[in-house]
Amino acid sequence: METRVVLITGASTGIGLAAAVQLMNRSVKVYAASRRGGKSEKAASGVGEMIHVKMDVTNEQEIAAVVAQILKENNKLDGVICNAGNGIAGAIEDTTTEEAKYQFETNFFGVVKTIQACLPIFRKQGYGKIVTTSSVAAIVPIPFQAFYSAVKSALLIYMQALAIEVKPFGIQCCTILPGDSKTDFTNARKYTKQAESGNSVYAKKMKYSVGKMEKDEQNGMSPDVVARSMVNQILSKSMKTIVIPGIQYKIICWLFYRLPDKVSLWIIGKIY
């Protein structure tokens, strides 16, 4: 059987690294992209391989160079997992335009740039799989992390539209919506300058809300669980359009769509 080749972004830690390792151990040649790079390795079986490559998803030249490298070394690309992301916290009123753009640059436009580089290859091949990491926050709005919720929601809609457009070319799309996960994402979260100053009128409520979220994250599901959802989809014959890991998060999303808006938002306000 021919070895599958998959590119995954945000693969230096957390969910991305877990997915890269799982793919490697399932006989896949994985190009693990991140801004820091890393040491490549092979699976114990000797079939799968993880090749770390330096790639900033906000840099189109670096993306093009990595995709060109993959084609040169393999003459194909079976799939891409867009997992790179970051988070910013703070009240909407306290968030500058530049801070909001920062949130969208990696989480949305970084995904768009990566997919744009892969689509011509997939179309020429007549097949290809695209998996992206969104969030339950795409469905359930998180106060004081509104721009994170907004960007994940934008990504979800983008992927659904993309699935319709590329279906005639044999290309499949899947969006993973994880809930609270125990990763380095918590410690890497940034805050708006106004939030960090402590002068915001929202400071007390924001501190409680984000603190609650961070506690839930550190008691959340293992990145291996989320990664397994990604890997299962990328290796399946027919991918699902949306996957929500964890029964509790499936229930949360189901309830959010069915309860009256006022009730749903009241509950979220009480939690956060």
Measured distance CA(96)–CA(39) in Å, rounded: 38
Beta strands in 72-133 (DSSP E): 79-82, 88-89, 128-133
**What tens digit of pLDDT does each residue of 43-96 get?**
877 789 999 999 999 999 999 999 999 999 999 999 999 999 999 999 999 999
Bridge partners for 42 per DSSP: 49
pLDDT confidence of residue 1: 62
pLDDT tens-place string over residues 115-158: 999 999 999 999 999 999 999 999 999 999 999 999 999 999 99
- Identified catalytic residue from 31, 102, 148, 158: 148
Does position 37 have pLDDT exceeding 90, yes or no?
no
State pLDDT tens for residues 154-199. 999 999 999 999 999 999 999 999 998 888 887 888 899 998 888 8
pLDDT given at position 95: 95
pLDDT at residue 196 in the model: 86
The CATH number of the domain covering residues in 4-271: 3.40.50.720
Exactly one of 34, 135, 152, 158 is catalytic; name it.
152
Contact 112, 159 (CB under 8 A): no
pLDDT value for 79 = 98
DSSP string over 202-238: THHHHHHHHHHHHHHHHTSB-HHHHHHHHHHHHHSSS
Categorize the per-residue pLDDT at 113 as very low, low, confident or very high, splitting at 50, 70 and 90.
very high
Pairing of strands 171-176, 49-54: unpaired
Q: So where are the chain's domains?
A: 4-271
pLDDT at 110 over 90: yes
From the candidates 29, 102, 134, 229, give the one annotated as an active-site residue.
134
Residue 228 has pLDDT above 90, yes or no: yes
Specify whether 148 is catalytic.
Answer: yes
Q: Is 12 part of the annotated catalytic residue set?
A: yes
Confidence at residue 38, expressed as pLDDT on a 0 to 100 scale:
75
Is the distance from CB of 35 to CB of 56 less than 8 angstroms? yes
Q: pTM score > 0.85 for this model?
A: yes
178 vs 230: CA distance, rounded Å: 10
